Structure 1
């Protein structure tokens, strides 16, 4: 009951007028991701936080979502970003996090794609059993997408061998035949596009084949931070959601901003031309299915107790009453 009351309180706070003057400036520290920018970074570049008393501070890179959640739990950053399953595992483990907004989604335009070399005998999901798959981290979206793909095809969920390879090296390990498959996450479309442009590889499946259109992951905040800064939390979510819509409506301009950000970080700005968007539905906010799908999976696997997690208590705000 306390969780429900807190959730309703947050929803009221987040729905208040956006013209309220914010009392104090807050700094939100975060870990960036190689080859891309988050919607809140884009929002800052577009000036959406200029009047909101919100300052973003990039304090380094995260190799994967679980790393950013550990940093969030430890207090070294104010936000984390991870696959939904990783977020739920972290909350079930005792971290009082709330899902602020979907960091990315998967659809026909933006998705995670599993590639093999052209001469590979692997043709379908059923062929990945016993094969080695490169993913950026374990315990996150690609890991669970593989597990769910195997489950749907009647195979043991641990039938494939997953190894950790940083995003910038996914193409290299595949072309050098160190792995059978390289999985480029929905947040790594820049690396995927660069690899595809060179040719010699082919896709065997993507995560929309397995999961349908759904939020791929979430930017999460600590609940105590939201309680302490309700107006900034509202402004943060509103700005990010607005930036997600901007990216969908203005892809060329977004690629220019991404190239500039990559250049400033010392990364390859040419990767920006392969940016496919964030894959998030119009309005930039989640629906309950984005969370509930993975709650059901984790309950089925026995990783969390049935009924322990409730989607509406985890989501800071939703795009409406729809659960579809």
Structure 2
């Protein structure tokens, strides 16, 4: 079975039209991120889902993307959010997911940054071999960025020791000397900004140095859910894309909403002032390179059979048809 996405142009005007097109009342459960506010959460705060039949339900927190994808595969949630490499690994393992739109992107303004104490002897990527690096989770964006960074220097991709540390503790473990490097993800600019303000840290590299400008991760939907709820899926993507654009055009208002939501969750609202944006293209557009870059990496590493995945088959984007695999 196939479904056409030709009508899914990500524009504000069509977003309003699709809002009225949704037919059913659907609840979309999801896992939130500590210190973060996803585009769909912002869209709900802005009222973009009113009249669509869509209700969002936060059912807890995810420590990272792989946990989110496991919940999606198991039916505990209706959407996942994960780094592109993790999404591709999950699809390759048999999960029939659609990459709906980039959750975040990396560029010169929004990026993942690897920090060391100012007096650390570590100066660049070539120095991280044998060192301990704190990341939010394994098998996701920061993990693959480190692997690709080491590969680019001709070093073994597993030369660094990665340990998992929750976002709110990244600064603490670095300053206490428990790790050599702390990696603040592009979705953790709030924690990165606070750590930078406290001083005494030095950035050694960021993910744009390694990957260039690219989507960092995707909001992911199950294909069967999209097929069962085509109008609602359309309205969800449209509303979320509008929120991405709103955040770019209205950063101060977005930070204020961010702070309020964090406070309502019982998190620290002060970190909202460091939110830099989502780093995505206008209209939440994705390109095939956003996926193909990582497909090529996974094939190179022998983790993915050559030709098994094609970006066009899984990218939920205007003017494309996505066929069931």
Aligned to 2:139: 139
TM-aligned CA distance change 1:104 to 1:19, over 3 Å: closer
| Cα distance, 1:18 vs structure 2 | 2.5
Between the aligned partners of 2:206 and 2:319, the Cα distance in structure 1 is 26
Q: Secondary structure at the match of 1:308?
A: coil
Match of 1:199 in 2: 199
Structure 1 residues 269, 129: closer, same or farther in 2, change over 3 A? same
Per-residue deviation, 1:240: 0.7
Aligned to 2:4, the other structure's residue is in SS state helix
Q: Does the 8 Å CA contact 1:63/1:136 hold for their aligned counterparts? A: yes
Q: Is contact 2:7-2:318 (8 Å) kept?
A: no
Once residues 91 and 318 of structure 2 are traced to their aligned partners in structure 1, the CA distance between those partners, rounded to angstroms, is 18
Displacement of 1:285 in angstroms is: 1.6
Give me the TM-score of the superposition, normalised by structure 2. Answer: 0.94
| Corresponding residue of 1:188 | 188
Q: Distance in 1 between matches of 2:7 and 2:280?
A: 24
Contact 2:6 2:318 in 1 (8 A): no
How far 1:21 moved relative to its partner? Answer: 2.9
1:81 paired residue number: 81
In structure 2, C-alpha distance between the alignment counterparts of 1:189 and 1:128, rounded to whole Å: 22
Quote the Cα distance in structure 2 between the aligned partners of 1:65 and 1:237. Answer: 19
**CA distance in 2: counterparts of 1:260 and 1:237, whole angstroms:** 24
- In 2, Cα distance between equivalents of 1:273 and 1:297: 35
1:163 matches 2:174 = no
Aligned to 1:14: 8
The residue aligned with 2:226 is: 226
Q: CA shift at 1:20, angstroms? A: 5.0
Q: Compute the displacement of 1:284 (Å).
A: 0.9
Displacement of 1:316: 1.2
- SS of residue in 2 equivalent to 1:194: helix
Residue matched to 2:99: 99
Counterpart CA distance in 2 for 1:244 and 1:250 is 10
SS at match of 2:204: strand
Deviates further, 185-194 or 18-27: 18-27
Change (3 A) 1:217 1:77: same
Aligned to 2:111: 111
Aligned 8 A contact 2:20 2:52 in 1 = no
2:301 is equivalent to residue 307 of structure 1: no
How far has the Cα of 1:52 moved from its partner? 1.0
Q: CA RMSD in A?
A: 1.5
Higher relative contact order structure (alpha carbons within 8 Å, sequence separation ≥ 6)? 2
**2: distance between equivalents of 1:19 and 1:64?**
30
Q: Which runs of 5+ in 2 are unaligned?
A: 321-325
Offset from partner CA, 1:57-85 (integer Å, 9 cap, x none): 00000000000000000000000000000
Paired residue total:
315
Structure 1 stretches of 4+ with a deviation exceeding 3 A read 12-17
Which residue matches 1:57?
Answer: 57
Residues 283 and 319 in structure 1, CA contact (< 8 A), matched pair in contact too = no
- SS of equivalent to 1:196: helix
Matched, 1:295 2:286: no
CA distance in 2, matches of 1:94, 1:274: 38
Q: What secondary structure is seen at the aligned counterpart in 2 of 1:115?
A: strand
- SS class of match (1:220): strand
- Secondary structure at 2:220 match in 1: strand
Structure 1 CA distance for aligned equivalents of residues 59 and 142 of structure 2: 25
